[in-house]
Amino acid sequence: MSSCFTISLSLLFFFVNFAGTESAPTFLRHYCPNTTLFTPNSAYQFNLNTLLSSLSSAAADTADGFANATVGQNPPDQVYGLFLCRGDVNTAMCSDCVATGKQDILQRCPNRRMSVIWYDECMLRYSDGFIYSVMEPVPSFTMYHTENISDPTWFMQVLRETMDNITARASVGKSGKKVAVAEANFTSFQNLYTLAQCTPDLTESECSTCLQAAIEGLPQGKQGGMLFTPSCITRFELYQFYNASAMAALVPLPSNLPSPPALVTRRKGIMCIDIEIFPWRLRFCSTQDCAE
């Protein structure tokens, strides 16, 4: 019997628009369970250092914003890793983000056999288990603005329709990247900007499933927010947080896209606790799934 534990963290979070700038990567969150540790100076640590260096080098040479690598011949010393850069960032920014993550993940997650680190510009992860072409919707983390939106009912309808649209587009991934953005009119004075992205090693169905589950977890009635997992990310804002020119250069939307898939039903047995610790608002949600 195996189990998994999901933690969702919602914070008072103000997103700063770094699109199109060469600033340092913006750290969001890291996840490093302390249940699996490696011995310092072991073969696993050597392989991990080699893996992270390989991924950092790959980030400087690829225009796809994604790569994976494996180091080691046999478990328990074998290590798998990958990175995903946000679909609109250029190669230089992607390379800088992965290089930062290469150092940061070892400091934030010392001696861990599996870890994930997220920035606004990229995600970097490694594990002693196989992670390629595996859809992983957990752990998931949510960040959102504290300001409420005016007319939340209409806003959520526009957000839902826009997110369904980009989910279908991102899942197809005709550009080689499974990413899509969209701009929608919320009012005559305000626009809504959205982004959805999966790791490109997922199938169309897996990407759609991951994004639909992420959409269900987005905050309700807020002026902006995001939810990210090891396999996908969704985000919405009332300002343009992505590089529209870079996104426009990707393969255009085909005219015969399928209708957005059906909504994913949330799993039962989820318990959430909200805690107010000024100026933070934290939400801890947990669930446990068991399989024979």
pLDDT in the model for residue 188: 83
- In tens, the pLDDT along 52-80 reads 999 999 999 988 899 999 999 999 999 99
User: In this predicted structure, what is the pLDDT of residue 150?
Assistant: 85
For residue 201, give Cα distances in angstroms to 6, 67, 82, 136, 198: 23, 9, 10, 12, 8
Task: Please tell me whether the overall predicted TM-score, pTM, comes out greater than 0.75 for this model.
Answer: yes
Q: How far apart are CA 10 and CA 146, in angstroms?
A: 10
What parts of the chain have a pLDDT lower than 70? 1-22, 174-175, 251-292
| Residues pairing with 69 in the sheet | 81
CB-based contact 56:91 (threshold 8 Å) = no
Q: Are 126 and 81 in contact (CB under 8 A)?
A: yes
- Res 252: pLDDT: 52
pLDDT for 189 equals 87
pLDDT value of residue 187: 85
